[in-house]
Structure 1
Amino acid sequence: MPLNWSRLIMLVVTVMVSIIGYSSTGASTTLFILAVVGIPARDLSLLFALEWILDRCNSTVNVLGDCVGVLIVEHLSKRELEEMDGGQREGTQPEP
């Protein structure tokens, strides 16, 4: 099924609106998106079989994004963290 630019933009907007605040796509959301855009959902069994893999990929991307966010915050607040620890670095023993 060829997708022209207007249908592709409508697909992107529909996906963005339906995913906001929702942790995983889910088969029901995918079916909703296919129905709104007008793409026939003939092979539902294939959709349900792939849903498991898609959910694992989404979870991996979410966890990786969280890790990158933590690294950025740690890097930007390194000076403040050292001041709170009294200038101690990792692996050093506190002075008596």
Structure 2
Amino acid sequence: MTAKDLPSEYSTDALYLVDISSFIFRAFYAIRHLSNRKGEPTNAIYGVATMLARIIEEAKPKYISIVYDSKEPSFRKLDYAEYKANRQEAPAPQR
């Protein structure tokens, strides 16, 4: 389902919670390599900005909040040691 599929009564007063970590990961790998003049990768920044702009343009949420993974272990990790155990560490540009 996309924002366009939502009935208008949902989009006007909606609160969108955006897991920015997943957007960054997705954009980093989905968009060809882009970099600034210093050679630093910018594809994730470009992709995240594009995805956020699309949400705002299509869904027109009244509220939007961006959430980001903490470097500290979450309560899930503290309660369940194997939480995200099979995930590889993010590449250097994403850390």
Q: TM over 0.5: same fold?
A: no
Which TM class, normalised by the smaller chain length?
under 0.3
Bigger Cα Rg: 1
* TM-score, normalised with respect to structure 1: 0.25
- Higher relative contact order structure (alpha carbons within 8 Å, sequence separation ≥ 6): 2
If each structure's strand is expressed as a fraction of its own residues, which one has the higher value? 2
If each structure's helix is expressed as a fraction of its own residues, which one has the higher value? 1
